Amino acid sequence: MLRARSGTKMFHVEHFQLPGRTPPSPTCAGKLAGMSERFGQSYFAQPAAQLGPALLGTIFTRRVEGRIRRARIVEVEAYLGPQDLASHASKGRTPRTEVIFGPPGRAYVYFIYGMHWMFNIVCGTEGEAHAVLVRGAKPLDGWDVNLSGPGRFARAFQITRADNEMDLTIGEIALYPDPAHRPRTVKSKRIGIDYAKRWKDRLLRYVDMNADRSF
């Protein structure tokens, strides 16, 4: 994952044909009114460089203080396993990182700078240790909150260490497709990873420029 901080980056614009954006066959379990079925494990089994842009425009939901809160994901970063020197997986399997070597569709949550929780989605094939960091979202349904930056995002959704290893296919946190939204995806370098040698120049940050972003 990363040492997150804000910064201005040059963007590389690219239009993606995104795999996995067609929602799974709906069932009754886990649905919110007016929404498609939540994503299952097969969706999260995409490699991080595919899942990252595919997540843009999807709807992140959680019950916060008794209310279902929703936000559209607008910014993410992909981390590509042990060979990626910006990834925690590059240090090998440890008690902290064991979850990212596990099955796709799990939450990987960690604490940085003594003040911020970071929310990541484990993805790809089990053992490859791919993950996607959620860096920002647009609040929906009139929710007045700032979701710019991974720390603010996690704080608003009350994400803590207790959510680490949550199964996102059945747990309290869920992600849903929104076929009506078409993201315009731009790629850039990831933020705050100058220590990652050649990996610092990989274009693995994805931003939806079609979202109404106030940050």
Q: Is the pLDDT of residue 28 over 80?
A: no
Domain-by-domain residue ranges, the chain?
39-208
5/25 Cα distance (integer angstroms) = 38
pLDDT of 3: 39
Over 80: is that where the pLDDT of 195 sits? yes
Name the CATH topology of 39-208. 3-methyladenine DNA Glycosylase; Chain A (3.10.300)
pLDDT tens-place string over residues 89-146: 999 999 999 999 999 999 999 999 888 999 999 999 999 999 999 999 999 999 999 9
> Tens digits of per-residue pLDDT, 90-99?
999 999 999 9
pLDDT of res. 114: 82
* Higher pLDDT pick, 56 / 112: 56
**138/48 Cα distance (integer angstroms):** 21
pTM of the model: 0.83
Buried-state track 114-152, b at ≥16 Cβ within 10 A, e below 16? eebbbbbbbbbeeebbbbbbbbbbbbeeeeeeebbbbbb
Q: Is the pLDDT of residue 19 over 70?
A: no
pLDDT value of position 25: 33
Distance between CA atoms of 95 and 164, rounded to whole angstroms? 12
Cα(39)–Cα(169) distance, rounded to whole angstroms? 6
